Amino acid sequence: MPTDCIDYRELPQFSELIRDYLDQKASVQPLYHRYPSLSHFEAQCQEKAAHYSTALRNGLVIEWRRQYEGFTLSEATEAHLNALHEPTTFTITTGHQLNLFTGPVFFWYKIISVINLCKSLQKTYPHYRFVPVYWMATEDHDFEEIQSFRWGDEKITWETSQQGAVGRFVLDASFEGVRNRINTVFPDSERGHYLKALFHASYAEGRTLAKATRYLVHQLFDKEGLLIFDGDQTWGKTAFLPYALREIHEQITYKTNQETLERMSSYKAQVNPRELNLFYLESGIRERLIREGDWIIRHDSGIRYALEDFERLCETQPDCLSPNVLLRPLYQEIVLPNLAYIGGGGEIAYWLQLKTQFQQFEVPFPMLILRNAVLHATAKQAKKAAKLGVSFADLFLSTSALRTRVVQTIQTVHYDFTAQKKLLQEQFAALEKLAVQTDPSFMGAVKAQTQKQLKGLEHLEKRLLRAEKKKHEVHLNAVEALQLELFPSRGLQERSVNFSSFYLAYGPEWITRLYAELDPLHPYFSVMVWE
């Protein structure tokens, strides 16, 4: 079962910012602290150890044990919790939304990237301990993004009227339709029965979505020692409170991001900061906060607090504050002894906006690592690609670009007018010299004629290419059909297909192979071919 590796930098799905980051270009270097290589982790460990107190360590373990009450822990998980008391133990973290049944399959690639990096670090630095962490995005309130997962061409969706932080949503009677659908869609086979049992055990009636997700992820990754953290609690918010109050008074995130975005002007901003990057959180409510003079206003309800009154409220109820996407990373790095964050291209892009913010708050900035990515293909699809003369890398192109690439490969007569364009430009350059010597007023006419002739050649080239595409329409349609098999709705497979499809097709071997082959310190898109 071969695996192809495609460099991320060759693929159009990755932004110019991410490609330049992977190339460590000078334009991006001011945006990160240390580039993620094994040799840089020693210095990261020393820096984090100097900024992370014993009191935080002990409080973290107590909080984590509270979150795991009622769970049976594997030896690996228990060992990791105990090790966190020691100043030589550090975490590697990824974060993700509470997608139904893990949502798109790239969730797995994130988690396994974290676990595998910890194993690599343990071999390289045996005098330290490295703990993999999944940070649950329990405080998000964009329910539409997480309420479904795909099964084939169908979306299995939870419809509920609950609002606020999604981690607090209760699996009430509205969830029963999802459970019934699971019984219908998963087949009556050994693998199907495993998935049904896993789903029902995780999404038990009366649980919150946060607890259901913890149960599910714990069942899947406990044996590897993965620790699951829920930031929606009092201990973490108490540690975060001094930073949140500075944010309210000084608007550090807004100011530092504005400066960074100016330096990043050649790149597209991933997230635009608000003047205040905090939400007000309580049961059923997550409202953006606005500061107007000496007042704090909840955006949706319009409820106003005098600044001093709001500070007192936060000091007595610190969990009423919820960071937004640009403050959550800071919250994470305050409460965890963390060295690196592993995420997708979009996540790394917004983390790259935050280095100056971290410096202002005097919190060490973690290393940023692009997660692993995988495209799964059958041996039949691989043979079909070879027969059609396309590589897997070709199939990542847009449909239009792919069709052009294929035609340029298979055409018997080549309509590349580069040589003719060069000759034309040389001839008109000679005419320009002659025009200058004869009458400079002719220069405009010569240049206009140059552009007219070049456009004429380009137009003819496009017409001939269209004719060639029509000539090979059957072949091109076959290529496009293969692309649609591997890229549902012309998007990345990993962003739509749920892990259950692969588990049913390949069984536990699918998981084993991911652990064996994913390595986040090597930025490649893996193409796994299955018999």
pLDDT digit string (tens) for 475-487? 999 999 999 999 9
Q: What is the pLDDT of residues 500-527, one digit of tens each?
A: 999 999 999 999 999 999 999 997 999 9
Position 116 confidence tier, pLDDT thresholds 50, 70, 90: very high
Position 467 confidence tier, pLDDT thresholds 50, 70, 90: low
Beta partners for 230?
Answer: 136
Which of 394, 388, 404, 399 is CA-nearest to residue 466?
404
Ordered DSSP codes for 6-44: EEGGG-TTS-HHHHHHHTT-TTTGGG-SS---GGGHHHH
350 within 8 A of 357, measured Cβ to Cβ = no
Averaged pLDDT, 80-99 = 98
368 within 8 A of 332, measured Cβ to Cβ = no
In angstroms, the CA 514 to CA 531 distance is: 16
List helix spans (H) across 203-265: 209-221, 234-250, 252-263
pLDDT of residue 412: 55
Position 54 confidence tier, pLDDT thresholds 50, 70, 90: very high
165 within 8 A of 117, measured Cβ to Cβ = no
In angstroms, the CA 329 to CA 490 distance is: 32
Q: What is the pLDDT of residues 422-447, one digit of tens each?
A: 777 777 777 777 777 777 666 777 77
User: With 70 as the cut, is the pLDDT of residue 303 above it?
Assistant: yes
What residue segments make up the domains of the chain, in order of their start? Answer: 238-250+268-323, 417-461
Which of 12, 16, 4, 6 is CA-nearest to residue 397?
12
3-state SS of 57-123 is: HHHHHHHHHHHCCCCCCCHHHHHHHHHCCCCCEEEEEEEECCCHHHCECHHHHHHHHHHHHHHHHHH
Which of 216, 221, 225, 214 is CA-nearest to residue 81?
225
Position 473 confidence tier, pLDDT thresholds 50, 70, 90: confident
274 within 8 A of 247, measured Cβ to Cβ = no
pLDDT of residue 156: 97
In angstroms, the CA 357 to CA 247 distance is: 10
Which of 209, 208, 211 is CA-nearest to residue 219?
211
CA distances from 386 to 378, 390, 397 (A): 13, 6, 17
- Per the confidence metrics, is the pTM higher than 0.85? yes
In angstroms, the CA 497 to CA 64 distance is: 32
pLDDT of residue 461: 66
Q: Where are the beta strands (DSSP E) in 302-354?
A: 304-306, 321-323, 338-343
pLDDT of residue 465: 61
pLDDT of residue 76: 98
Q: What is the pLDDT of residues 350-367, one digit of tens each?
A: 999 999 999 999 999 999
